[in-house]
């Protein structure tokens, strides 16, 4: 894993800790390829959404699309941390 991906992983972890406060302690200590991939995916989606929002002519449906992406990633993280069956996006 390169330096940039390490940064993305930790940014994604921190953003998820803010979005899922009841799982904050578990997120803080979570490790492993699957959960770390979810952290990176979350950060990449957040960064892309920010770029889209910065464009004045961006289609409104993109906001709804990213809301759905974030909800799916958050649900995958919840399921992973609680040991339930979850969707592997890799």
At 88, is the pLDDT very low, low, confident or very high (cuts 50, 70, 90)?
Answer: low
Residue-wise pLDDT for 72-82, tens only, equals 999 999 999 98
At 39, is the pLDDT very low, low, confident or very high (cuts 50, 70, 90)?
Answer: very high
- The answer to whether 43 and 69 have CB atoms below 8 angstroms apart is no
d(CA 41, CA 89): 9
The confidence score (pLDDT) of residue 33 equals 92
Task: State the sign of the Cα–Cα–Cα–Cα dihedral 76, 20, 10, 25.
Answer: negative
Residue 2 predicted with pLDDT over 60: yes
- Residue that the structure tokens 């906001």 belong to: 63
């Amino acid at each position: 894993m390169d330096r940039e991906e390490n940064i993305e992983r930790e940014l994604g972890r921190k953003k998820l800790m803010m979005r899922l406060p009841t799982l904050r302690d578990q997120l803080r200590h979570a490790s492993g390829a699957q959960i770390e991939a979810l952290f990176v995916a979350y950060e990449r989606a957040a960064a892309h959404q920010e770029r889209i929002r910065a464009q004045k002519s961006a289609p409104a449906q993109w906001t709804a699309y990213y809301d759905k992406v974030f909800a799916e990633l958050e649900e995958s993280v919840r399921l992973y941390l609680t040991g339930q069956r979850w969707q592997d996006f890799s």
